[in-house]
Amino acid sequence: MRTNNSKTKNAIISVYFVILVLAIAAPIFIKSLRLFGANATMSSVVIGVLLIGLFFLVHFICRFFEYDSDGTKVIVTNRGLLLSDYMNYREHVVEFDKKDLVAYSFKNYIIYRTLTLYLLNSRGKKRKETFNISLVNKRKRKYIRQSLKKIVKANKKAAM
C-alpha cells in the first residue's frame, strides 16, 4: 500500500501566506492603536510574539508524510513541506524489511499526531522510530493502521 498527504501542501502554503499578511498588517494595526491612546509598545510586543509563535507552531506540525509497503520493504518518510522540493532540510526516512517490524503505536495529541514504529536492528535489539502524521487524514491513517497490523500479525505467525 502506498499513501501520502501531498494534497495538504497547498493549504499549508496558504496558512504561511496568511501569517505573512498578518505580520505585514500588524504595524498598521499598532499605529492605529497609537491614535486612540492605547499602549502601542505592549501591543506590538504581544502581536509579534503571537505571530512568531504561530509561525513556529505551523512549521513544527506541518510535515509531509509518505508510507509505502509495496514489496518486501516498508519505506516511511517525513520531510518539511515548505522548501522540500528544493532541499531536504527536515527529512527522516526509514526503510526496513517487513520481518523487522515488532509493533507500532499511534498517538493523538490535541493538534499533533505521531506514528511510532518499533523495529529490530541487526543485533536483535528494539529501536523506536517516530513520525509526524498530523496532516494525514483519518481515512489514510486507517489504511496505514490496517497495513501495519497485517505485517505485525504475519511476523507473529512466522515467529511461532
State how far the Cα of 109 lies from the Cα of 106, in Å rounded to an integer.
Answer: 10
CB 44 within 8 A of CB 121: no
pLDDT given at position 34? 64
Q: Which tens digits make up the pLDDT trace of 30-43?
A: 777 665 556 667 77
What is the spatial distance between Cα 138 and Cα 108, in angstroms, rounded to a whole number? 11
pLDDT at 1: 83
What span, in angstroms and rounded, lies between the C-alpha atoms of 68 and 87?
22
State the pLDDT at residue 37.
59
SS3 90: coil
Report the SS3 class of residue 12.
helix
Dihedral sign for Cα 133, 137, 143, 149, please: positive
Largest CA distance in the chain: 77
Grid-cell match 492603536, residue found: 33
Q: What is the pLDDT of residue 35?
A: 57
What's the CA gap between 88 and 12, in Å, rounded? 17
Q: Are 116 and 129 in contact (CB under 8 A)?
A: yes
pTM: 0.81
Name residues of the chain where pLDDT drops below 70. 33-40, 83-88
For 62, 63, 85, 117, 130, the CA distances from 56, given in Å and listed in that order, are: 10, 12, 20, 26, 20
